[in-house]
Amino acid sequence: MTETTTTPRRPNIVMILTDDHAAHAIGAYGSVVNTTPRIDEIARAGVLFTNCFVTNALCSPSRASILTGTYSHVNGVTTLVTPIDASQPTFVSQLKAAGYRTAIVGKWHMGHGDGHDPQAFDYWDVLVGQEGQGEYWNPLFLSADGERVEEGYATRIITRLATEWVDSLDTDDPWCVLIYHKAPHRPWEPDDVHREDYSAPIPVPVTWDDDYATRSASARRSAMRVADHLTLTDLKQMPPEGLSYEEEGLWKYQRYMEDYLRCVASVDDAVGEVIDWLRERGDFDDTLLMYASDQGFFLGDHGWFDKRFMYEESLRMPLVMSYPRAIAAGQAHDGIVTNVDFAQSILAFAGVASHERMQGRSFAGDISPNHPSAPPSAGMYYRYWENDDHNHMAPAHYGYRDARYKLIFFYNDGFGLPGTSGAQYPTDWELYDLESDPTEVRNVYNDPAYLEIRERLKVEMWRAQAAVGDAPHPLQPVPDGV
């Protein structure tokens, strides 16, 4: 008698990606400003990553790294206005070649036109209004059939279009759908159902009054202060008359946070719709469900909004993931992972080979016994390229973060890349001890007590940079010991 074996079912894949959703505005990460019960549900059903970091805290570059599994200097998307070569290998192209049905709905934001629109997707339907950022209300979409306006609120529309595509499939092939939201990106326009939420006073972060006393000139030059740089479009109303500068800054913080958190509330609703839909289909246990944001965001921390910097609030990405068939529930993973690692990890769960060009490491073995483990990351390499951009004047810098320390080199040079100003400024260094100073208000680069650590980190940063094929700035001295 011949025994028959059955091939394990390949997982469906759902990646829900938002824009600018800070980890510290998620309940599972300990938020003190809002609740996110449906995002938290994914964490309870699977794993919460407590040290997931972005390698270039900017929307387009992060999306390119997630898709291709490569760093910005490899995939070519270094700034907001350097479009992707969409023909390069991605985790989606690998899945499609292995028999997956593939789709992306929502925010693409990596350029449009010949060679830049999504490739390797059976179905793509992406936001194109406002230079690729998309509108919150009545958004303009582009698909293979051309442009059209969808009436309604973007977060709800994106969710509906994505689930309708899956429901339309008439084969038993596994599928992968990327549900990429605009929210909670600036200018933070809430849905009507949440328009009155979070109207009570919102706690001010402990670093709101950061005076930047030990920070470099590079950091001080940035233009992202809540008190000074939010526009009337952001605030949606004039500040009350008669307020002092300090009072007006706090009023602006409340207005900003109210709308930001209202947009997050709609995202949480949409995540719940996807969870419920998967359960109704009987697919939840066999689906690799991921929720992440393309980077972190400052929520009044250090008096700032926006991202770009290598500081923790900007660097840290939320990432929760469930796949009950292979991932035990209730895990917390504290190892260092990055957005470059997503591609290989997804492919590992799908049983599909990664492309030889992909960088980083698969973390599948960290959280599932069904996969081989890879050596843990000792640290992570970061590089922000868009020097002195016209909106926020953020400095170009690269750096290295391990479990305790963070070294940053502000090289302040745009190399003539699109989106940079052409101005070059003197270089600066910063060093933070995250154990004794978790909020990063004390730069200890020039503290003699940290001299040995500082020089060791320079060597480690140099080696980490070389390991990913990036090159140091000519103004950075070669560290001793390399």
Q: For 379-417, write each residue's pLDDT tens digit.
A: 999 999 999 999 999 999 999 999 999 999 999 999 999
CA atoms within 13 A on the CB side of 118: 29
DSSP 302-325: GGB-S--SSSHHHHBPPEEEE-TT
Residue with tokens 């991921």: 290
Are 309 and 194 spatial neighbours (Cβ–Cβ below 8 Å)? no
Q: For residue 462, what pLDDT band results from cuts at 50, 70 and 90?
A: very high
Peptide bond into 187 cis (omega under 30): yes
Q: For residue 3, what pLDDT band results from cuts at 50, 70 and 90?
A: very low
Provide the 3-class DSSP secondary structure of residue 278. Answer: helix
**What does the pLDDT read at residue 130?**
86
Average pLDDT over residues 161-185: 97
- How crowded is residue 201: how many other Cβ atoms within 10 Å of its Cβ? 9
Amino acid identity at 237: Q
Average pLDDT over residues 215-239: 98
Q: For residue 7, what pLDDT band results from cuts at 50, 70 and 90?
A: low
Average pLDDT over residues 147-176: 97
213 DSSP assignment = T
Provide the 3-class DSSP secondary structure of residue 134. Answer: coil
Name the residue among 283, 383, 374 with its Cα closest to residue 336.
Answer: 374
Average pLDDT over residues 196-201: 97
Q: Which residue would you say has higher pLDDT here, 1 or 70? A: 70
Name the residue among 31, 41, 10 with its Cα closest to residue 291.
Answer: 41
CA atoms within 13 A on the CB side of 383: 26
Q: Percent of the chain having pLDDT more than 90?
A: 96
| Dihedral class, residue 303 (left if φ above 0, else alpha if ψ from -120 to 50, else beta) | left
Q: How far apart are CA 52 and CA 61, in angstroms?
A: 16
Peptide bond into 184 cis (omega under 30): yes
User: Phi then psi for 6, rounded to 5 degrees?
Assistant: -110, 140
What H or E segment, with its residue span, contains residue 102? strand 101-106
CA dihedral 260, 180, 74, 371 (to 10 degrees): 110
For the record, the structure tokens of 123 come out as 């179905």
Average pLDDT, the chain: 97
Q: Both ends of the chain: CA-CA distance in Å?
A: 64
Structure confidence by residue, pLDDT tens digits, 82-124: 999 999 999 999 999 999 999 999 999 999 999 999 999 999 9
Checking if the pLDDT of 1 tops 80, the result is no
